[in-house]
Amino acid sequence: MVRRRRASDTFAGRTAIVTGGGSGIGAAFTTALATAGVDVACTDVDLAAAQRVAEACAALPGTVGAAHLDVTDAAAVRGIVDSVVEGHGHLDLMFNNAGIALGGNTEMLTPQQWDTVVDVNIRGVIHGVAPAYPHMIRQGSGHIVNTASMAGLTAAGLLTSYVMSKHAVVGLSLALRSEAAAHGVGVLAVCPAAVETPMLDADGVGGFDGRTYYLSGQGISTPYPAARLAAETLDAIARNRPLLVVPVQARMAWRFSRLAPGLMQTMAARFVAGQRKRQGL
């Protein structure tokens, strides 16, 4: 019988950067990596939040250092990447995780709000890829992990800017993966449905309620645990998978959208109508 390798066997001694590591999925990524023996730079625009995560990981096998990072600042992201490479000699895992959501009727979004979503969710990923990928090419190894969403594989309104940005992240990830394979570098797009994170309660426009949209509006009683997503992400990295789509209902919805796109659009329109009625939008 072949024994399945433990995460500690696969990741011990590696280095990682996690953006948006101060809460939610990013905090879960940081904890899972440190548990597996990875030395992690936990970065966040909220330094105090990143420090709390680092402190919570103090007894784990891997070391965790906290740093302030605004992913919209390309020079700052490059500085973090260069610092890790200089300090450790290598960067093995780049988690481009920082993201925001802004729900509500699309006509109510201002150009500035669109820009913010693009700057954080798309440019923030680009700013991580741009400095990390060349280092990994030179090493001949490494893995880039981009946090996308089920919203990057399917589409429904009232979350249009977020859906757009996550489709971009999925496209970037799959395209880069086809290039990176020749250099021994892996790329993974993480595409979960609703996860228990502060994003569920993020502000929207026009009275939009995210928790209603993500959960009760879709018939979901319990959000996906962030810790479970993190563990499955490490497994997906070890298996060099292109996409991680969870839970099983999300995979079924994604497959259905590919088989019957017209019907899926009809269902999406009905979903939006129901959401508007439910939320009074």
Active site residue 162: yes
Domain 8-279 homologous superfamily, CATH: NAD(P)-binding Rossmann-like Domain (3.40.50.720)
Residue 232 gets which letter from DSSP? H
Side chain identity at residue 53, one-letter code: V
Choice among 162, 213, 214, 224 that is catalytic: 162
| pTM reported for the whole predicted model | 0.95
Low-confidence residues of the chain: pLDDT under 50: 1-5
Beta bridge partners of 178: none
Cα 28 from Cα 34, distance rounded (Å): 10
pLDDT over 70 percentage in the chain: 96
Cα 251 from Cα 150, distance rounded (Å): 9
- The pLDDT score that the predictor gives to residue 6 is 52
- The pLDDT score that the predictor gives to residue 9 is 65
